[in-house]
Protein backbone atom coordinates (compact mmCIF):
# COMPACT_ATOMS: atom_id res chain seq x y z
CA UNK A 1 0.00 0.00 0.00
CA UNK A 2 1.42 3.33 -1.10
CA UNK A 3 -0.01 6.81 -0.54
CA UNK A 4 0.53 9.06 -3.59
CA UNK A 5 -0.73 12.61 -3.26
CA UNK A 6 -3.70 11.51 -1.15
CA UNK A 7 -4.52 8.52 -3.36
CA UNK A 8 -3.93 5.07 -1.92
CA UNK A 9 -2.42 2.59 -4.37
CA UNK A 10 -2.16 -1.14 -3.78
CA UNK A 11 0.88 -2.61 -5.44
CA UNK A 12 1.36 -6.40 -5.42
CA UNK A 13 4.87 -7.41 -4.39
CA UNK A 14 6.44 -10.83 -4.81
CA UNK A 15 9.25 -11.57 -2.37
CA UNK A 16 12.08 -13.67 -3.73
CA UNK A 17 14.05 -16.09 -1.64
CA UNK A 18 17.42 -14.70 -0.61
CA UNK A 19 20.07 -15.54 -3.21
CA UNK A 20 23.18 -15.07 -1.06
CA UNK A 21 24.21 -14.32 2.50
CA UNK A 22 27.23 -13.50 4.60
CA UNK A 23 27.83 -16.36 7.03
CA UNK A 24 28.17 -15.47 10.71
CA UNK A 25 31.59 -15.56 12.39
CA UNK A 26 33.73 -15.65 9.20
CA UNK A 27 32.10 -13.09 6.94
CA UNK A 28 32.24 -15.30 3.84
CA UNK A 29 29.56 -14.48 1.28
CA UNK A 30 27.92 -17.63 -0.09
CA UNK A 31 25.17 -18.48 -2.56
CA UNK A 32 23.12 -21.55 -3.35
CA UNK A 33 24.52 -23.74 -6.11
CA UNK A 34 23.16 -23.12 -9.60
CA UNK A 35 22.42 -26.05 -11.90
CA UNK A 36 25.69 -25.24 -13.71
CA UNK A 37 27.63 -25.27 -10.41
CA UNK A 38 26.17 -28.69 -9.58
CA UNK A 39 27.48 -30.05 -12.90
CA UNK A 40 30.92 -28.44 -12.56
CA UNK A 41 31.48 -29.64 -8.98
CA UNK A 42 29.58 -32.94 -9.51
CA UNK A 43 27.52 -32.44 -6.35
CA UNK A 44 23.90 -31.69 -5.48
CA UNK A 45 24.31 -29.85 -2.16
CA UNK A 46 26.52 -27.13 -0.74
CA UNK A 47 27.05 -23.38 -1.01
CA UNK A 48 29.49 -21.58 -3.29
CA UNK A 49 31.80 -18.96 -1.81
CA UNK A 50 31.41 -15.75 -3.82
CA UNK A 51 32.95 -13.20 -1.46
CA UNK A 52 35.88 -13.42 0.95
CA UNK A 53 36.84 -10.81 3.58
CA UNK A 54 40.38 -9.42 3.59
CA UNK A 55 41.61 -11.69 6.40
CA UNK A 56 40.80 -14.89 4.50
CA UNK A 57 41.89 -13.97 0.96
CA UNK A 58 45.24 -15.76 1.32
CA UNK A 59 43.35 -19.07 1.63
CA UNK A 60 42.05 -18.89 -1.97
CA UNK A 61 38.47 -19.72 -0.95
CA UNK A 62 36.53 -17.76 -3.57
CA UNK A 63 34.81 -20.11 -6.02
CA UNK A 64 35.04 -23.15 -3.77
CA UNK A 65 31.97 -24.92 -2.39
CA UNK A 66 31.41 -25.43 1.33
CA UNK A 67 30.05 -28.95 1.74
CA UNK A 68 30.17 -29.29 5.53
CA UNK A 69 30.63 -27.33 8.75
CA UNK A 70 32.04 -29.28 11.71
CA UNK A 71 31.32 -32.45 9.71
CA UNK A 72 27.62 -31.58 9.31
CA UNK A 73 26.40 -31.47 5.70
CA UNK A 74 25.53 -28.09 4.20
CA UNK A 75 22.62 -28.29 1.75
CA UNK A 76 21.94 -24.59 1.06
CA UNK A 77 22.43 -21.06 2.40
CA UNK A 78 19.86 -21.61 5.16
CA UNK A 79 21.88 -24.59 6.42
CA UNK A 80 25.10 -22.58 6.17
CA UNK A 81 23.58 -19.76 8.20
CA UNK A 82 22.31 -22.15 10.88
CA UNK A 83 25.54 -24.17 11.16
CA UNK A 84 27.89 -21.17 11.20
CA UNK A 85 25.64 -19.44 13.77
CA UNK A 86 25.99 -22.41 16.12
CA UNK A 87 29.80 -22.41 16.09
CA UNK A 88 31.38 -22.05 19.53
CA UNK A 89 33.24 -18.79 20.02
CA UNK A 90 36.44 -20.03 21.67
CA UNK A 91 36.80 -23.59 20.34
CA UNK A 92 38.30 -24.87 17.13
CA UNK A 93 35.82 -25.44 14.33
CA UNK A 94 36.14 -26.49 10.72
CA UNK A 95 34.48 -26.46 7.36
CA UNK A 96 35.20 -28.57 4.29
CA UNK A 97 35.40 -27.14 0.79
CA UNK A 98 35.40 -28.69 -2.65
CA UNK A 99 37.01 -27.14 -5.71
CA UNK A 100 36.15 -27.65 -9.39
CA UNK A 101 38.84 -30.37 -9.67
CA UNK A 102 37.08 -32.40 -6.97
CA UNK A 103 39.74 -31.73 -4.33
CA UNK A 104 38.50 -31.41 -0.76
CA UNK A 105 40.12 -29.16 1.81
CA UNK A 106 39.31 -28.91 5.50
CA UNK A 107 39.77 -25.44 6.98
CA UNK A 108 40.27 -25.33 10.76
CA UNK A 109 39.77 -22.02 12.54
CA UNK A 110 39.12 -20.60 16.00
CATH at 103: 2.30.42.10
Q: Is residue 5 part of a domain?
A: no
Question: pTM for this structure?
Answer: 0.82
Mean pLDDT of 101-108: 94
Question: What percentage of residues in the chain have a pLDDT greater than 90?
Answer: 67
Q: Is residue 9 part of a domain?
A: no
Instruction: Note down the domain range covering 33.
Output: 21-109
Domain count, the chain: 1
* pLDDT of res. 89: 82
Q: Is residue 75 part of a domain?
A: yes
pLDDT in tens, 19-70: 789 988 889 999 999 999 999 999 999 999 999 999 888 889 999 999 999 9
User: How far is CA 54 from each of CA 24, 89, 108, rounded to the nearest angstrom?
Assistant: 15, 20, 17
Statement: residue 106 has pLDDT above 90 = yes
Give the confidence band of 18 by pLDDT, cuts at 50, 70, 90: low
Q: Computed from CA positions of residues 39, 84, 108, 57, in that sequence, does the dihedral angle turn out positive or negative?
A: positive
Amino acid sequence: QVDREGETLFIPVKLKERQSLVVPKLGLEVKNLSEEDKKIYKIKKGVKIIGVPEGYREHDLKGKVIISVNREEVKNIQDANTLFSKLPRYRKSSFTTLDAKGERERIIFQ
